[in-house]
A and B are shown apart, each in its own frame.
Chain A
């Protein structure tokens, strides 16, 4: 069975501070994909990143960075110099098997509500 744990239920930081959202996963699949989604109050899940299990390189996209460590089954997400617009609920998700087989069921964590205080 697959499981995603986001232990941080809520985080509040002052604008311009850096913040890291933790994600720990469990899976028996040898090939899997990890995702982060952002959910603003409108409800739509906004795709942020996908990593496959064979690529442990960290990734940076603007103020966002992701640290994938297979040894600890973690896929953490850092926002640098946070802004009020970053306030949202962030979900980490896992899919088993190569997504291109049409079986990319996503298992989500319970989410972390991030509030950026002006």
Chain B
């Protein structure tokens, strides 16, 4: 196990609703990244947070937003859900500025979101 935990594991929402997904990063990791993985596809980068600030964003609309807390845990919020938002959402934590340098991103098991 990587020490990265995500909740909930599964979620069903109705189109137009809002959803919040949560991620607890591995101990000592200050950077959290979120990825969306549609069925049969590779993960797509949504955004990254470092020390509570957004530090890079992929090609996702503004209705995808996030937060990082002082304990480095993170939330992903999606407003106005669409059917295409159905996917596995993966959180990854890392400590790229750590000593010794630890650049690997460790992933959680993901939250499977179904929008109906």
Contacts and interface: CB of A to CB of B under 8 A. Distances in A.
A47 B105 CA distance: 8
A37 B92 CA distance: 12
Interface in B77-106: 88, 90, 92, 94, 96-97, 101, 103-106
A68 interface: no
Contact residue range for chain A?
Answer: 20 to 34
Contacts of A105: 33, 45, 48, 56, 58
Interface of B: 2, 31, 33, 35, 40-45, 48, 50, 55-56, 58, 88, 90, 92, 94, 96-97, 101, 103-110, 112
Contacts of A100: 96-97, 101, 103
A105 to B, nearest CB: 5
Contact of B107 (A4, A44, A99, A107): A44
B112 A43 contact: yes
Given A103-B55, A103-B56, A42 B50 contact: no
A106 B45 contact: yes
Contacts of A4: 42
Nearest to B50: A102
Contact of A42 (B103, B104, B109): B109
A54 interface: no
B56 to A, nearest CB: 5
Contacts of A108: 35, 42-44
B103 A33 contact: yes
Contacts of B104: 47, 50
B111 to A, nearest CB: 9
30 contacts: A33-B103, A37-B107, A42-B109, A43-B88, A43-B109, A43-B110, A44-B2, A44-B107, A44-B108, A44-B110, A47-B104, A50-B104, A91-B42, A91-B43, A93-B42, A99-B94, A99-B103, A100-B97, A100-B101, A100-B103, A102-B48, A102-B50, A103-B56, A104-B103, A104-B105, A107-B45, A108-B42, A108-B44, A110-B40, A111-B41
